[in-house]
Structures are given as C-alpha cells and as structure tokens.
Structure 1
C-alpha cells in the first residue's frame, strides 16, 4: 500500500517520505501505534517501566488473538481473560485487571480522533479499531486489597521455624565446605530483612548498601537504623515511591552486620553498592526469591499458599500485637490508607482475647472508693 504526503498521522510516528510501500503494513502499523502511544504516555511523565510493561501486555494480547488492533473485538478480550485465569497457575485478579487496563488505554488512544488512527486504518485496511474493553467484560475494582483469603501472616512459631531452618541449612553447608553456603546465607538474611523492615520483594531486591543509614534516636542499631526504600510501589504510572523505614527489632543489627562484613565481600563484588549480589555479579532476581522461599516452605510443610509477601503481612501483624501505634505501622510499610494496613493485619486469637479482657476490665471494674 502507498501513503501520500501530508496525510494526518498518529502522535510519535515516523512518516514515510513521499510514496513508500510498506513491506509488512499490518505489523508496521502496529509498531507505529505502540510507538505513538508510548510517546503520549511519556508526555504525561509516566514512568518508563510502566510504559514498557503496558506495551508488553498489549503485545501479549495481540499474540493471543493473532490479529491486528483494527480487527480486535470484545469477544477476544473475554477469551483472553479466560485463558489468563485458567490452567495450573491462574493469574491474580489484580494482575488480570492490570492487563485489561493496559489494553483499554491502548484502545482509547487508537480511537481518539485527535490521533487519526481510525481514518488511516479505514484507508489502508477498510476497517478501524474500536474499544474492545467495556464494563461487562473487565474486572471491576471494588476493593483496595484483593489477595487470596488463604494468604495470611505467619505465626511467630512458623516464622521462627522458617528462620531456624534457613540458618540450619547455612550451618550444614558451611561445615561441609560446600560453596553454596554463601548464597544460602545471603538468602536467609534477605528473608529476615523482608520481615525486619516489612518490605516487598522488589523493594528488598533493589536495596543497595548505602540505603541503610543511622537513626539518631536509635543508636542501638548503628548504621542500620533506617532502611531507605527507593523502589516502593508506584501509583498510576508515577515513579517508585520512597520511604524511610525505621529498625524496630533488636536482632536486626547483628543479623545484617554479620552478612555485610563477613559474607557479602566473599562474592567478589564488581559493584560495591549491591546488597544482594549473585555469583555472576548481578542483582538477585525476584523469581529466585520466590523459588527459594517456596523450597524452604515446602520442606517445613507450611501451607503452599504462603509466599514471601506473607513476611510483610507478618511484620504488620506482629507490630500491632506488640502495641505499636497503627499510624506508625502504616507509615513504616508505606500504605496510603490505614484501611489497607488493617487488611494486612491478622492478629492471633490470643491477642484479641487479651485486648478484649483489658477493655472489659476497664469498663466494668468498679473504681476503688477510699474510706474517708
């Protein structure tokens, strides 16, 4: 097909000079659409990773359909969604929504008359793209918290057993002279830091040694009094949110200090800042964190639904049980709303009973009357 000069084009597209025939018009059209959409999002100052992820999600949908955007229909969305939630490893509701949202935004861009894609598609292919996502075939966001009900904080006994098992594996490998003891030690410390500071997987994986600083009000923790999180969960395409998490457990300093001074240097660091280096000098991967946790969890016979994020739930729960102010806990984990923190909290029955007993005693115990 041939384009004439001066034809209106979508934002961010490269315009063919003169009359130039495209070798693969459908494929090149799709690439130009994605490029234009990326530039539109960049103009809105969205994070580069958000833009990249959305484009990948749209391409995943296109690969599933095997057709071009101007041929998509609502039925394609429904079949795709069904495939995402089927099989041995169905995606979470929040993940499915993110995929659908990316697709809907892309279709909004294509059908906006200001970018001229509809007219170009009609001229080139005799049809045009439509919005294929609507209120009847997409996930409705009804709750701020959509994790599976079975996902829960670990009890203190389970948590101690998990950490003890990790330490046992390290000691066993170290005493036998196995090289793998370094990575076992690293991973055991990493899981302890997830719990010690209530971190998400990505937050802990992206930590650098300089991210730890002193807390002038917490001299007991030395240089590890504050964990400065640089890769917090982003909101609506914004850059990662930052927060400073204060150390609260007395065992935090000796655990991280031993790893930093005695174990981490043995990796032969090419990048002196990375906190969790691999043997190939890279940064630890999220899927490795998942796999390692799953192996140790299964060895201990814990519920298969438990995953690394449960350590963050445990952190919130145990701080609340220990009497920390809910607002302090909310700020520590970086939640915008206290209701989200409350949903992370799974206090034990014993804690609830003790709390109830204190309230009942205060309400129904008659005050002592002094004899005059």
Structure 2
C-alpha cells in the first residue's frame, strides 16, 4: 500500500516550500498581471514539476497515479494558475502520448514536455461539442501529397487551457465523415508553428487569473498520418477517454488542495475574529461549518487515494474516477462557500480577506471542466445500472 511516505519526504517538502515561499507570496502579482512571472515558471521547470507523470525513460519523474495525486494536493494549495501552468504537461497535454503514442512520438515529445521546454494542451472541446464530445465538427479529410498520406484539418476548439502559450496541440478531429460515432474520431499531434493553426485572444474569466484559456483555430492545417496518436485513425476517442480517466483523478486531487488551504485560513481567522466579546471559534454554528469542511475534505482525500491506488494496480476505475471528480469538485465548492460565510464581508472583499475571494472564484470552474457534475452523475448512474 502506498502512503504519503512513498512520495519521498524530500520531494513533498520541496513542493510545500515552493507553495509557501514562492507561489503564495506571488499570488497578488499573478492576479494583477494575469500571468505567472517567467522566473517562477523557470523554477518550476528546474524542480521538475512539468514532468511529474512522464516516465523516467523520457526525463520525467515517473510518478504513480497516487504519487501524482499527493503532489497535486500540495501544489494546488496555491492559486490555481501555478498548477495549471505545469498541469497540462503532467495531465491532458501529455497523457495521450503516454497512453497511446508511437515509440517515435514518445521520443520526440515526452522529453520536451517533461522539461517544460514545450507546453502541451488538449484540444477536444468545441462550440457545439462539450459534454457530448462525439458531436465534434472538426474534420480531417485525407489528401494525396507526393505519395504520402496527409490530412487537411479544419475546425474550431473552445475553452482550451494553456492554448495561448502551448507549443503542442493534441487535436481531435473526425477522420471518417460517414461514421458519426466515437469510432470516426482521431487525435493529431500538431505543433504551434504548423501553417493554418492559430489561437484566439485569451478569454476573460470569472477566476483562475494567470491560467490562459482561448479558442484554437484550424484552417487547412496539413498533418501526416505519422502525427496521428498511435498512428492508427479512429482511435482518438478511446485515447481521450483513457486520458480523461486519469485526469479526473488528478482534478479531484486538485480540488482537495484549495479546500485544505481555505480551511486552514478559516481556522486562523476564527481564533482572532471576535464578536459579542469572544472569538467566533467559540460559536457552535461556526464550529459546525469547520467540522463539516474537515469531514468532507477527509472523505474526498481518502476516496481519491483509494481510486489512484486501484488504477496503479491495473483496475478499471472509470466509475470511481467519475465519483472522485464529482464528489471532490462539489466538496471544494461547499468548503469555499462555508469559508466565505465564516469570513463574512472580509471573505467577499479582495483587499481585506486575503486569498478567500480569489480562491472562491478559482474553484468554481472545477465543477465544469473534465465533465460537469451533471454529466458525471449520468455516467455513474449508467455504469452502476449495467
């Protein structure tokens, strides 16, 4: 059984020190400038944060699913932008290649992703294809080019994390126009410099400042069959599901860090904030909100680590991954709401309540991406009724 000590104490303390001494002190600057200072990004590269989940043979840390969950819980105690900056490389931006890439694709891209030289992103969602991912309209039409099979790709992707700064795009497109099911979808590895690929302006968002999100435009982009993940057309949706199964465990872990941070902030606040002549920590209704938060955080943490261990043991965790993502993201939202309530007006004001207002807005997105809470409930119901 893996526990916290498996992710050796030195590595965990390195992450905690980064969060405590570098990331948290820079949060206000990240919010103000809407970007992480490049010198901090370089520190993350040098500490190996971009390669956590990438196999050792390609320059990564080769973390297990459980080790990655533990690391993500620590890193996500800082503003979401820090996790997101390296998170696509330790998650959806690299996992498709790790899962199904050809040996050549792994050798070409994984070392660059592990070092942070290249930032990857997953381009799946479209204006009319969100929860129903198989409804995507991006097309990849075969064209002849000097005897080499190529594909002309056209379409638009939306809400793509790190798209404005990514150098590698895993683009999902329909390669079989006659098959509107998941079997007609393929995944392509498209470098940014490819003619016809461009990204839109960064979206203005409710929260998560410093984590850029934009549309991706593909206009007559030419890609070879060697750029299809795994080299075989029609396998893209299966690749996406493998990637998202792991990412949903990652995201569940990423919901736990902010919840822990919020509770820690609340515990400090209730001991010094006084009303009616005594600290509000002495009021039972306040104590109830603190206790409920601790219970839910502990339950989510146990659930995520149990599911991560199961995946590491080779078990099918499709249902459990959905349960993790649903419960942890909803839990984080409830904890954030309670903590704002505990802080009162200070929790609503960015210049008084410290990080509370920022974290409250940041965590709202957790219940939307990588499958909305409602989609996960439907997925869970379908699978348990089989």
Whether these two folds match at TM > 0.5 is no
| TM-score normalised to structure 1 length | 0.29
Give 1 or 2: higher strand fraction: 2
Which is bigger in relative contact order (C-alpha 8 A, separation at least 6)? 2
